Amino acid sequence: MLSSSIILFLRDALPVFVLLAFIVAMLQHQQERQVRRWFSAAVIALLLLYLFIQASSRVAQWFHGQGLEVLLLALRACQFGLLYLMLIGWWFRRARLWQYAAFVLAVITAVMELHDSALYFVAYWQQAPVVVLLGTILGITVCLAVATLVHLMMTLLLQQPDRALVWIPVMLYGTGRLTDALPLLMQADLLPASPPLWQFQSLLADETELGYLLNVLVGYQSSPLAIQVLVYIVALALGLSGLFILKRRGQP
């Protein structure tokens, strides 16, 4: 159970920590301190997470029993759009625009990613509280270590003359989160089932620690579907082409 708790944090909590590392680095670069706003974001995320867990059984009955999958897929699309809006606002130095986009993005990401973990800890807390608590501490420690390294990388990129470098890790993260949710289309019977495009399971499985890490950072999939590869390429190309257009207009 201890190893399961750590793996669960890598799968569910690490995307939240990495996103916050991006946002904190960008705030520090612009010398912004919004402690009260981000404390409010944490409170709102916890409240919405609680409401989401309470309503999940009802939501699951929507769309002929596929409501939860459809809702999570819609939230993933919103997540990608907000991430793109955050980058555009940051590029044009529109502090209010990108910070509000980041605020909503952080809340949505926390609710989406943490609802499975919350259900797990509620279910197992009464059975083995010490093991769950220890797993939580170790999982948070691992997530903080990774987030610290991501923050350091972002800080180094933000110090470079070319501000466009910041887009690359953020867009890889956002594209990966979007494509990671596409199997929900098949679970909701919105797409027919299809075999994976290739198999790297024996080389690096998704369920390993490194597999989860690469999945969060760049959207790694050991056995991706064709629709996942297609959406990944298209979404990344759109994001980077938008960056190219902005660079041609000159850095603000």
Q: List pLDDT tens digits, range 11-28.
A: 888 999 999 999 989 888
The answer on pLDDT for 81 being more than 60 is yes
The answer on pLDDT for 104 being more than 70 is yes
For residue 217, the model assigns a pLDDT of: 93
**Sign of the CA dihedral running 182, 185, 186, 187:** positive
Sort 100 into a burial class: Cβ within 10 Å, 0-12 / 13-18 / 19+.
Answer: middle
Task: Report the length, in residues, of the chain.
Answer: 252
Output helix, strand, coil percentages for the chain, rounded to the nearest 5: 80, 0, 20
For residue 252, the SS3 value is coil
Q: Average pLDDT in the 74-95 region?
A: 89
Across the chain, mean pLDDT equals: 83
Q: Average pLDDT in the 97-114 region?
A: 88
The pLDDT-based confidence of 121 (bands split at 50, 70, 90) is confident
The pLDDT-based confidence of 61 (bands split at 50, 70, 90) is confident
Domain boundaries, the chain: 2-248
Which has the higher per-residue pLDDT, 98 or 193?
A: 98
The pLDDT-based confidence of 165 (bands split at 50, 70, 90) is confident
Which has the higher per-residue pLDDT, 219 or 29?
A: 219
Q: CA 212 to CA 221: how far, in whole Å?
A: 9
For residue 92, the model assigns a pLDDT of: 86
pTM of the predicted model over 0.75: yes
Q: CA 89 to CA 63: how far, in whole Å?
A: 35
CA angle (212, 177, 242) in 5-degree steps:
135
Site of tokens 């890598």: 10
Q: Average pLDDT in the 192-214 region?
A: 85
For residue 182, the model assigns a pLDDT of: 84
For residue 30, the model assigns a pLDDT of: 74
**Sign of the CA dihedral running 205, 211, 212, 217:** negative
For residue 132, the model assigns a pLDDT of: 75
